[in-house]
Amino acid sequence: MTRVLIPSGALGLGFDHDALMKGVANKPDIIAIDGGSTDSGPAYLGQGVSKYSSASTKVEWRDLLLAREKAGVPLVIGTAGTCGSDQTVDWLFDLTQQIAKEDGLKLTVALLYSGQTPDVMASAIESGALQPLPAAPELTIEIIQSCTNIVALAGAEQIQKAITTGADVIIAGRATDTATIAALPLMRGDHPGAAWHGAKVGECGAIATSQPNTGVIQIDFDDTGFTILPLADDTYATPNSVSAHMLYENSDPFLLYEPGGHLDVTHATYTALDERTVRVEGSIWVPGPYTVKLEGARIAGYQSVSIAMLRERRYVENVQTWANDIKVKCHAKASQRLGLSASDFQIDLRLIGVNAVLGNMETQTSTPHEVGVMGVITAPTEALAQEINKMLNPYLLHHPLTEEEPMPTFAFPFSPPEMSRGAIYEFCMHHILTLNDPMDAFRLEVRKLANV
C-alpha cells in the first residue's frame, strides 16, 4: 500500500493548512503536488516564468517543506513554476534555498530538467522520432529554431529516477499532471491502472470532492485499486464526484495517454466506503511505445493595446460600422506612413458589450447602452506596435460616423492610452517524441543544502 498526500491542485492556489497537518499525521509515503498547466496560455512557457507570485509561492512552499520535515518523506512537485521550463525549476530551487537558509533546514534536492534543445528536436523531426498529434499545427525546423522554450513532459519513470536518488525534495520541470502522484505507487508494485487513475483524480487536489478550494486529499493505492479521502472538515468525495473527474480538461472521458501507455477507465467501479471516502477498482493500464509529449512556445509578434469607451446612443447603435471604418482608414494610414505592407501588421477592434468574447461566432444582437472598444495592434516589433497604436488614437478619440457632423469625443480611462504588451507568444508544438530510454530527454541533478 502506498499513501500519497496531495496538498492542492497547484502550488500557488492555496490549501487548507489544518487539513495538510491531518494528512501529515496520517503518515503518508510521499507528498506530491502539481506546479503547472498550459491553461493560462503560452506566455509562461515562452518567457520561462511562473504565473503565480514569488511571495505566494514561497509562503505555500515553506508550509510544504515544513510538512515534509515533519512527515519525514519525500516532497515532489511536477511542472515547477507553471510551465516546467529549466528557468522555473531554477526559480523554485532558489526559493527552496532561501527557505532552507531562513529556517535552518538540511535538505537534499533533486532537480529534474525537461528542457529540450532546438537542435536535438530538429534532428528528431528528420529521423521521424518526432510525430504530430491530432490537431497539431504545422511544424518546421525553422519554427523549432525560433522557440524560446521547448519542454518534454516527464512521466512516472523520470520521477522514479529522481525518487531513487533518496532526495528529500524533488523539483521537476514539465511532467504530466499525473506523473508525480503515480510514480511511487507504480514503483512499489501497486496496481498500475489504479496508480494512473488515482493520479488523474488527484492531480487537481480536492476538485473531485464537494469542496474544491480546500485542496488537500489523501489517496491510498494498493494491489487492486485506490481509495480517496478528502482531508478538510465537512468535505466529501462521492462516486459521482470522483467518476466525473475523468471528464475534466480531458478530451476523452475514458482514456488518458501517458508516456509508455494509456489508462482505460471504461470498466472502473466507484463505491462509497462511507459518506466521504470512495473506493475505485477496475481501471486498466495498457502498455504502449515509450513516447513523451512536447510543448514549445515562440514569439508571435508584439502587441500594443488601447481602450476607449462609447456612451453616446447613436454611436453605440452604430459601433460596428464606426469600428470597421476606423480599421480600414487606420490600416491604410499606417501602411503608408510606416512603409509597411498590409500583411505586416494587424489592427483588431474588439467591441466589448457586442461580440468581444465570441467574435464572428456571436449570434445575439441586442443593443447595449455603452460599448468598450479594445484596440489590439500586432506588429513585428514593439516600437512599430506602439507607433501604429499612436496612429489609432485620434480615430478612437474623435472619429465621426459621417463627415457632416460635429466632431465627437469618446472616453479614455488612461493617459497615455497605449499599453504595450511586449512580445506575444504562441504554442507551436503538439507532438510526441519516441525515446529509447525514458531519461534520454531529461537531466537529473542532486544538490545538498546544509543550512544547520
Partner 1 sequence: MSELGDLAEKVRSKNAGPFWLTIDIFCGSPDRFAHIALHLNNDYIARRLAVSVTDIKRFDIPDLNVIKISLPRPSIQGTRNDRDMHGAQWANILAEMEMPDMG
Contact residues toward partner 1 (CB under 8 A) are: 38-43, 133-137, 240, 243-244, 247-254, 295, 300-301, 346, 348, 350, 356-361, 363-364, 378, 424-427, 430
Half-sphere exposure of 135 (CA within 13 A, CB side): 2
In 10 A of CB 437, how many CB atoms? 9
Residue 88 C-alpha cell reads as 522555473
Query: Smaller CB distance to partner 1: residue 348 or 445?
Result: 348
Instruction: Tell the smallest beta-carbon distance from residue 42 to partner 1 (Å).
Output: 4
Virtual torsion, Cα 79, 82, 84, 88, nearest 10 deg: -120
Instruction: Tell the smallest beta-carbon distance from residue 252 to partner 1 (Å).
Output: 7
Q: Are 30 and 210 in contact (CB under 8 A)?
A: no
Q: Which residue reads 480611462 in cell numbers?
A: 413
> Which residues, 6+ apart, have CB-to-CB distance to 4 below 8 Å?
28, 29, 30, 31, 32, 181, 184, 185, 198, 202, 218, 219, 220, 221
Instruction: Tell the smallest beta-carbon distance from residue 176 to partner 1 (Å).
Output: 11
Half-sphere exposure of 411 (CA within 13 A, CB side): 10
Which helix (H) or strand (E) covers residue 251, if one does? none
> Cis link prior to 416 (omega < 30° from 0)?
yes
Query: Smaller CB distance to partner 1: residue 105 or 384?
Result: 384
Query: Smaller CB distance to partner 1: residue 164 or 324?
Result: 324
CA distance 185 to 220: 9
Residue 264 C-alpha cell reads as 482505460
Query: Smaller CB distance to partner 1: residue 261 or 301?
Result: 301
Query: Smaller CB distance to partner 1: residue 67 or 150?
Result: 150
Query: Smaller CB distance to partner 1: residue 3 or 245?
Result: 245
Residue 260 C-alpha cell reads as 509508455
Query: Smaller CB distance to partner 1: residue 240 or 367?
Result: 240
Instruction: Tell the smallest beta-carbon distance from residue 450 to partner 1 (Å).
Output: 41
Instruction: Tell the smallest beta-carbon distance from residue 76 to partner 1 (Å).
Output: 23
The DSSP secondary structure of 312-357, one letter per residue, reads: -HHHHHTHHHHHHHHHHHHHHHHHHHHT--GGG-EEEEEEETTTTT
Instruction: Tell the smallest beta-carbon distance from residue 402 to partner 1 (Å).
Output: 30
Query: Smaller CB distance to partner 1: residue 232 or 265?
Result: 265
Residue 379 C-alpha cell reads as 506588429
Among 232, 186, 289, smallest CA distance to 15 is for 232
Instruction: Tell the smallest beta-carbon distance from residue 356 to partner 1 (Å).
Output: 7
Name the β-bridge partners of 447. 109
Query: Smaller CB distance to partner 1: residue 107 or 388?
Result: 388
Residue 321 C-alpha cell reads as 460600422
Q: Which residue reads 511544424 in cell numbers?
A: 139
